[in-house]
Each structure stands twice: as C-alpha cells, then as structure tokens.
Structure 1
Amino acid sequence: MTSQPRIYMAGPDVFQRDYAQHKARIKEWCAELGLVALCPGDDEVTGEGKAEVSRAIFEVNMALIESADYVVANVCNFRGHEPDSGTVFEIGYAVGRGKKVWCYNTPEHDLLAQVPQVEPGFCRDGMLIEDFGLPRNLMLAHACELVRGDLRACLELAARWHAAQG
C-alpha cells in the first residue's frame, strides 16, 4: 500500500452537467484526507469515432482501477431503482482484483421497500424482489462496505480505515 492511497471514484457522477466542478471538489476532499482521487475522465480520450472513443474510455478506466488501492463507488439509484450498471461492473472488477470497496449513497430502506410492487414481493415485471433486509442486491452488500452517507462521509471512512491499517 502506498502512503497516500489511490482511490478510484466509480459512479454515474461522470454524467452530471457540472462534472468538471464535481471532480475538482472530489480531488480537493481527497487531498485534505491524504488520499489521491482517480476519477473517470482524468485522462481525456480522443478517437476517430464513437466506437474508438468508447473503447478508449473503457481501457483508461480499467487502468485507473488497476492502479488504485481502493474503490469508492456511488451506488445511488440511476435511471431507475438500481445503481448504474457501469459502476456495478467496476465494483465487481475491483472486488475480483482484491481491492476494498466502499459504496455511498446507499438507500436507507431495504429493497422490498424501494421497489414498487404489483403484488406482495413482486415488481411490475413479475420478478421476485429479494427480501434479505439489505438496501442493495446481496452481491453488492456482501462484497462492499455499504455506507449510509454521502461522498464526503465515505471518503472519511476510507481514510480512517487506511490509517488503521498502519
């Protein structure tokens, strides 16, 4: 582990209109806490078309995850009742590489309370809603540390955890 841990910032934040300002704030907070933020878009990519640009973004983000010590992920509801699929992929990849992951913007209520039901225990598509009392899918809940707080609270927790590791 490095003395200043490198934190990959996963999440749909990159789609915000004010992402440049948001990213600057993340980097500032991390610096205050002795962390180094690795944000999607840190290495701007160019290409000869959408396919080339999307491939380059994927490769840059994978390299950033590889170079990170930890991952902090925004698991807010994104375009529905679930986290962003790209974020979930990044979390799974990081966990598979043995990296500790913290997730913030975790809902207060369990899945059963979050997802609209057409009949008890089933969503509008007729699919069973898992009822384990967890605020996110069990695969995320058991692979990551789910933080009930915002980004700043999550970064503070990650910094304290790193410091405790010695």
Structure 2
Amino acid sequence: MDETTTGKLKVYMAGFEVFRTDAVELGKQMKALCEAYGFEGIFPLDKDIKPSPTKWETAQAIFAGNVKLVQKADVIIANLNPFRGHEPDSGTVFECGLGYAMNKKLYGFVSDKRTQAEKLMPGINPQTGLYQDGMQVENFELPTNLMLSVPLTIVEGGLEDALKQARQDLL
C-alpha cells in the first residue's frame, strides 16, 4: 500500500462516469467523497493529455495515462453497473484486471446485486435454459461474471457504499 505522499490510501475510481457531459465536476465530487472516507481519490481524468495529431495517438495517450493512474492507486473501486447493454463498461473491466495483476485491493459496486441469471431471466427460454442469443447463462449465483465477482468485493449501492466497505476492511 502506498500512503507516502498524503498518508492516505489512494483509490482509483474506474467507471463509465468519464463519458458523462459533467464528468469533470462529477470527478471532483467523487474525489471529495473519497476524502470524506479517509482516502485520496484518483479519477480517470486526472491526467494531462495533450492534443495529438491523430485519434490513435490520443487513444494511446489516454491508455498510458490511465495505466499510470492505476499504478499509483492502492485500491480500485469500479462501477460495475451495466453500460450500453447487460455488462459493465469494458474499459472498467480492463482496469479491474490490471489492478488484479498489480495486486491492488479491488472493490466494485452495482445497483442490483441479484445474480446474472436472475437479471437475464426475461430473455431465458424456460424449456432450454438458453438465453435469447442461444447461449448458456453463467450461473454461479454471482452478480457479475465470475471473473469480476471472485476477485472483487462487490457491494450493492454506489461509490459511497463501496468506500464504506473499503474503509471498514482497510483502515
């Protein structure tokens, strides 16, 4: 755990909030919430990305910047709510995997902690047990895919609920 600069554990807040039109202001609010729970918040927009000549170069700079922010963190707290479909944001999922590989403490939050099978039930054929796309539904009685539910501590609620759990576990 790296508490060297502020004496506080650093929390990287992974999630699709960066796509909101008020992302900068929301990031400040989220960081203030981290502070209220005794953590130093790191928001994915906390990097200085210079304009690049191409979209590819801009994408590379954003990727490298986010990796550095994850490296600085002690804890990852991820918004695992569905984003544009049934699953969490793929960038957020990548950051969780990166954090796992770096031995970070991992937390996630969802607004609905029912199992994936329960959430997908309307699209499951009762005769075959298959989802409407003709494939099986993972059913380990977990709120997300096992590759997230196993390594992360997942709480029902929002960022504040995850911060409460992390404070209880880590401080």
- Deviation digits for residues 32-84 of structure 1 (CA, Å, limit 9, x no counterpart): 22211111111131211211111000000000101111100000010000001
Alpha-carbon offset, residue 107 of structure 1: 2.2
- SS of structure 1 residue aligned to 2:69: helix
In structure 2, list runs of 5 or more residues that go unmatched: none
1-structure distance, mates of 2:112, 2:130: 19
Shift of 1:160: 2.4
After the TM superposition, which segments of 4 or more aligned residues of structure 1 sit over 6 Å from their partners? none
CA positional deviation for 1:117: 2.1
1:155 Cα deviation after fit: 1.2
Partner of 1:102: 107
TM-score where L is the length of structure 2: 0.90
| Aligned counterpart, 1:69 | 74
What are the residue-to-residue correspondences of 1:30-49 with 2, within 5 Å? 30-46=34-50, 47-49=52-54
Q: CA deviation at 1:118?
A: 4.6
* TM-score, normalised via structure 1 length: 0.93
Do 2:15 and 2:92's aligned partners in 1 also have CA atoms closer than 8 Å?
A: yes
| Superposition CA RMSD, Å | 1.3
Q: Percent identity?
A: 36
Q: Which residue of 2 aligns with 1:156?
A: 164
